[in-house]
Each structure stands twice: as C-alpha cells, then as structure tokens.
C-alpha cells in the first residue's frame, strides 16, 4: 500500500509552542482539536481557509493544493491549511492565531440522568459532533424544554476524539430555574445545546505534585482533569481533597478510585466533612478543607481549586501562608444562580 512516511510517522508536533500528540496520518487540525485546542476552522475539507496557519519548522504532506485558497504571499511565507496538512517529520511546528477560533454551539440530547447525592445530578449528553475543550474547562448549557435559560457548568468528563458524549454535574440550587428543572424533570431524550469552550481552568505542564481541592459539585472539572492526565500518562503525585457537609454529600468515590488504580505515583483521596454528626460511624476527617491544608500541602505543590468562592478564598489564604505562590494556584469559582 502507498505510504508517504519513509520512517516511522511523527508522534507529536508543536502548536504555538505547545506540544500535542499526533496519531498516524492525522491532519494538524484533527490533532489540535483532539488535543483540546480551540483551533479556528469551518469546512474541514480545504474549502474555506479558516484553518490557515504558518508552518515554521518541519515538513508536511499537503492533501490538497492550498494555493487556490491562500494568496501567493501567504504560500511564500509558509502558510498552510491545517485541515489538509499531515506532518511528515517529527519537528513540525506551526503558528496560528487562536483568537480567530469561535466558541461552538453543538446540539445533542440527554442520554442519561442520575442523582449522585441528594442535591447533585449527573447528566450525560450525546452531541451531534465532538465538542472541543480542555479537561477542566466549562460549557454553557441550554435545554430545548426550558427556553431562554442558559447556565455554565464544568465538563465532568475528559475530551475525546472518537466520542461526542460528555457529562456534567448539576447541583440543585433551591429556587434555581435550571438546576431545579434538571433535578425534578425526566430529561431523557430532551434536546440540548452546548456552547464551549470557556475558562482557564485546566492542567498546566509541570512536574510538581498536584493538590486538587473540590467543594460541592466542584469534583466535575477535577475528574475531567484527572481522567485526561491519566490518559496522558501523567506521573505526578496526586492528592484530592473533597469538602462536603456530611457522608450523604460524598460522591464519585468509585470514579476517583478507578483513576487512582495504576496511577504511576502516589495518589490519595480524602473527604473532609464539616457537619457530620458525631453520632455516626464516620472515621474520616472533620472540619473544613482549610483546617487540614498543613497536613496535605507543601510549598512544592501546584494547586487546583474548584467550588464555592468562600472555600476557595479560605484555602488560597492558607496555601499562601504555606508558601505556595499565586502562580501555582488555579481556581474555578462556582457561583450559584438562584434565578
């Protein structure tokens, strides 16, 4: 069979100095989207030039002649079409203006709905096409049977190239139109719209041990980040702290234990309960997460915090005293919408 690779195909490339993985004969656009980069594109078939980018190093195989779409000057200065370019060498590096990328609105339907606790519901969506996001980011959701209401929720699943299935955790806010609707109505097969990606909460490159702190439904982006990190063969030690009121508020223990299985470094998951009765059998930690940071955090940790703003601000104050700089702390503040 014809092959344009003389040696083994490249397994990675650089997009704006970010290394991304490559699959066999994958186009630059497909690889960028699969790696969660919100890359500008439209047609994907070499007809619009929305995906144009500049090749600054390496060699590519052009699947179509881009000179019909690009100006002579663009071709001379190295512009190519990402959707029509397959890297041939291991040093392929491109520059692209990512600000041209739009957030995309993808339609789909609810395929599963499950109560995780007395006030947190998980919904699984099947979308008409793959939605692009980085693990940890959030989307704006709307439901066809609740017109003119849109709410932001973090993805609770990692991005995936071969699947358009995504998951969200919704905490019921008393009086909240959207969360009450999800909490009370049977939404199976109800149409949805997902606009994404949004937010700057995602895992940064580092060798530092990770401290992941979640309160309320804040485990959603933490699970997304951990699932992606496991797939990327991350070898950093992990500590996950979940703050909850009582045992009834603990969720996703099995999911986190599954991620912890075979994790190549230390992995611990602790729940800290603030209102658990002394009469119960609970043997674990009590109080607030901030009360226990001296035990779990060192000045070498990189920290990701997600949940209620009060919890996050309290933890950041304590983590700063431990010696963790603001540059090593990343927060996603969940603000309840009771309208």
What are the residues binding ligand FES (CB under 6 A)? Answer: 41-44, 46-51, 81, 83
Q: Which is nearer to ligand FES, 101 or 214 (CB)?
A: 101
Q: Which is nearer to ligand FES, 20 or 246 (CB)?
A: 20
Q: Strand order in 329-333's β-sheet?
A: 285-286, 267-273, 238-244, 210-215, 302-307, 329-333
Q: Which is nearer to ligand FES, 27 or 154 (CB)?
A: 27
What's the half-sphere exposure (Cβ side, CA atoms, 13 Å) at 188? 4
Q: Which is nearer to ligand FES, 2 or 68 (CB)?
A: 68
Q: How far is the CB of 48 from ligand FES (least distance, A)?
A: 3
Cα→Cα distances 276→20, 71, 81, 247, 307, Å: 45, 67, 58, 7, 19
Cα→Cα distances 92→5, 22, 84, Å: 14, 11, 14
Residues 6+ apart with CB under 8 A from 278: none
Residue 151 is inside which H or E element, if any? strand 146-154
Q: How far is the CB of 27 from ligand FES (least distance, A)?
A: 9
Q: How far is the CB of 137 from ligand FES (least distance, A)?
A: 22
Q: How far is the CB of 122 from ligand FES (least distance, A)?
A: 34
> Is it true that the peptide bond before 150 is cis, omega within 30 degrees of 0?
no
Encoded tokens for 17: 């100095």
- Ordered DSSP codes for 98-141: GGGPPPEEEEEEEEEEEESSSSEEEEEEEESSPPP--TT-EEEE
Q: How far is the CB of 68 from ligand FES (least distance, A)?
A: 10
Q: Which is nearer to ligand FES, 85 or 217 (CB)?
A: 85
Q: Are 125 and 108 in contact (CB under 8 A)?
A: yes
- Bridge-based pairing state of the strands 238-244 and 210-215: parallel
Residues 6+ apart with CB under 8 A from 306: 154, 201, 212, 213, 214, 215, 218, 219, 220, 221, 222, 312, 331, 332, 334
Q: Which is nearer to ligand FES, 60 or 250 (CB)?
A: 60
Residues 6+ apart with CB under 8 A from 311: 213, 215, 243, 288, 289, 290, 305
Q: Which is nearer to ligand FES, 69 or 319 (CB)?
A: 69
Q: Which is nearer to ligand FES, 33 or 305 (CB)?
A: 33
Q: How far is the CB of 15 from ligand FES (least distance, A)?
A: 15
Q: How far is the CB of 30 from ligand FES (least distance, A)?
A: 11
Q: How far is the CB of 178 from ligand FES (least distance, A)?
A: 34
Encoded tokens for 210: 């990770």
Q: Which is nearer to ligand FES, 92 or 273 (CB)?
A: 92
Buried b (16+ CB within 10 A) or exposed e, 10-21: beebbbeeeebe
Q: Count Cβ atoms below 10 Å from residue 300 Cβ, excluding itself.
A: 13
Q: How far is the CB of 52 from ligand FES (least distance, A)?
A: 7
């Amino acid at each position: 069979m014809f092959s344009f690779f003389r040696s083994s195909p490249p397994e990675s490339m650089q997009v704006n100095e970010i290394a991304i993985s490559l699959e066999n004969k994958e186009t630059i656009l497909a690889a960028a989207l699969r790696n969660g980069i919100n890359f500008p594109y439209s047609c994907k078939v070499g007809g619009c030039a929305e995906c144009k980018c500049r090749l600054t190093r390496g060699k590519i195989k052009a699947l179509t002649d881009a000179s019909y779409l690009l100006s002579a000057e663009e071709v001379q200065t190295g512009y190519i079409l990402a959707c029509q370019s397959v890297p041939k060498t291991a040093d392929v590096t491109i520059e692209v203006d990512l600000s041209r990328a739009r957030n995309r609105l993808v339609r789909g339907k609810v395929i599963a709905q499950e109560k995780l606790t007395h006030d947190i519901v998980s919904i699984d969506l099947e979308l008409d096409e793959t939605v692009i996001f980085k693990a940890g980011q959030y989307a704006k959701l709307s439901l066809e049977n609740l017109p003119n209401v849109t709410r932001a929720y973090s993805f609770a699943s990692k991005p995936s190239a071969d699947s358009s299935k995504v998951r969200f955790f919704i905490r019921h806010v008393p009086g909240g139109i959207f969360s009450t609707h999800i909490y009370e109505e049977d939404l199976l097969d109800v149409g949805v719209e997902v606009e994404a990606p949004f937010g700057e909460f995602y895992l940064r490159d580092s060798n530092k041990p990770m401290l992941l702190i979640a309160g309320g439904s804040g485990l959603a982006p933490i699970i997304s980040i951990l699932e992606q990190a496991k797939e990327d063969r991350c070898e950093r030690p992990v500590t996950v702290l979940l703050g909850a009121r009582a045992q009834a508020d603990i969720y996703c223990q099995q999911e986190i234990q599954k991620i912890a299985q075979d994790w190549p470094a230390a992995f611990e998951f602790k729940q800290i309960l603030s209102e658990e009765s002394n009469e119960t059998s609970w043997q674990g930690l009590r109080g607030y997460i901030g009360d226990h940071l001296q035990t779990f955090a060192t000045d070498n940790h990189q920290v990701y915090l997600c949940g209620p703003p009060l919890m996050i601000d309290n933890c950041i104050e304590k983590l700063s005293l431990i010696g963790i700089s603001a540059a090593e702390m990343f927060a996603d503040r969940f603000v309840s919408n009771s309208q």
